[in-house]
Amino acid sequence: EVQLVESGGGLVQPGGSLRLSCAASGFTFSTYDMSWVRQAPGKGLEWVSSISNSGANTYYADSVKGRFTISRDDSKNTLFLQMNSLRAEDTALYYCARHWGVWGKGTTVTVSS
């Protein structure tokens, strides 16, 4: 079964850091571009970052550029999102997506003091 499972979310203070993980199974992870998409409570979808299947190309939304880093470990079938200098406005449910037909259930990040 094709599956994506996010983890690593939690409560963090403003200015803090978190590392999200997305474990993939049921497909050849290394051949797919991957992305992170977030959804703030009661709001719409916001694209956060993407990485090409080779890992050579990465893309970021302006709202997270310079603070977030996307990466992948194809040997472990895992996608990562390193989030630094977190702000209250980063509070959201973070989804991992395989371009673009498979999505995980998400992991919640709350930035609050």
Partner 1 sequence: QSVLTQPPSASGTPGQRVTISCSGSSSNIGSYTVKWYQQLPGTAPKLLIYSNNQRPSGVPDRFSGSKSGTSASLAISGLQSEDEADYYCAAWDGSLSGHVFGTGTKVTVL
Smallest distance from the beta carbon of 58 to partner 1, in angstroms? 10
Q: Scanning the structure block, which residue is given the tokens 């498979």?
A: 102
CA distances from 72 to 16, 19, 34, 45, 54 (A): 22, 12, 9, 22, 9
Q: Are 92 and 40 in contact (CB under 8 A)?
A: yes
Among 59, 87, 91, 110, binds partner 1 (CB under 8 A): 59
Q: In angstroms, rounded to a whole number, what is the distance separating the alpha carbons of residues 57 and 17? A: 23
Beta carbon nearer to partner 1, 13 or 99? 99
The answer to whether residue 103 forms part of the interface with partner 1 (CB under 8 A) is yes
Smallest distance from the beta carbon of 9 to partner 1, in angstroms? 14
Return residues touching partner 1 (CB under 8 A): 35, 37, 44-47, 50, 59-62, 95, 100-101, 103-106
